[in-house]
Amino acid sequence: MFKWLFRIIILVTIAYLIYIVVYPFMVDVSSLKRKNPDLTAMMKYRIEQWEREGKKVKIKKVWVPLHKISQYLVKAVLIGEDDKFYKHSGFDIEGIKKAIEKDIKEKKLKYGGSTITQQLAKNLYLSPSKNPVRKIQEAIITWRLEKTLSKKRILELYLNVAEWGEGIFGAEAAARHYFGKSASELSPMEAARLAASLPNPIKYSPAGNSRFVEKRANLIYFIMQKRGIIKEEYTEPHEEESLPVLVEDQQNPSNQKEQSDQTPLK
């Protein structure tokens, strides 16, 4: 009886190992050259999650071609998520190394060091789990995506399926939801804030008052300025023109803070 049990366990293990390797080769990556995906694995995962939690959330997504997405957002996402996107073949070895070092230090699988192509592979075909099996499958699919699709197409796919909040997928849906405009009309700071929220879009709102988003957005914005992506004209004021001065309300500093907190994003 124990021999049979042992054999069954071995067979199940072998079958599972075959599945790990075979599944990533079974997904139809080639169809992505001409066909836009409908519901991704991440969207399906969220739908199941909402059903378990008893939530009624409707997925918002509007597909737009890459040329109809603000270049500010394209550049901001590249800076924030994968600054070496056009230089690597799907994997940022240096980034992965740093992520592993952080994981070892904190004794948990927290940092992924994932490139945009890796994130796309996960969003399209896998679960958000960080277990080693999923990472192996992600690596194989990433390799296939890079071999099959152009960088432009990979970026277009990613920007249209990326999660930007509960039920919000893609740049166009995110731009409409948070800023009431098309993705093509996003300002540099709006683009920076959308990019800043990508590490955890469920927790951090691009239009909220999160210090994490604000700090990260300001850094992305600064880098865009430094690289000449944002070209703002500046002229010295005439001598007779008075400059605006920040004056502290000494009588009611708490009221001043309250007003400041309520100032909408520009």
3-state secondary structure the chain: CHHHHHHHHHHHHHHHHHHHHHHHHHCCCHHHHCCCCCCCHHHHHHHHHHHHHCCCCCCEECCCCHHHCCHHHHHHHHHHHCCCCCCCCCCCHHHHHHHHHHHHHHCCCCCCCCCHHHHHHHHHHCCCCCCHHHHHHHHHHHHHHHHHCCHHHHHHHHHHHCECCCCEECHHHHHHHHHCCCHHHCCHHHHHHHHHCCCCCCCCCCCCCCHHHHHHHHHHHHHHHHCCCCCCCCCCCCCCCCCCCCCCCCCCHHHHHHHHHCCCCC
Q: What is the pLDDT at residue 133?
A: 86
pLDDT tens readout for residues 56-107: 999 999 999 999 999 999 999 999 999 999 999 998 888 767 766 665 655 5
Q: What is the pLDDT at residue 234?
A: 46
Q: What is the pLDDT at residue 264?
A: 37
Q: What is the pLDDT at residue 44?
A: 96
Q: What is the pLDDT at residue 7?
A: 78
Q: What is the pLDDT at residue 265?
A: 36
Q: What is the pLDDT at residue 104?
A: 60
User: Which regions of the chain are under pLDDT 70?
Assistant: 1, 96, 99-113, 232-266
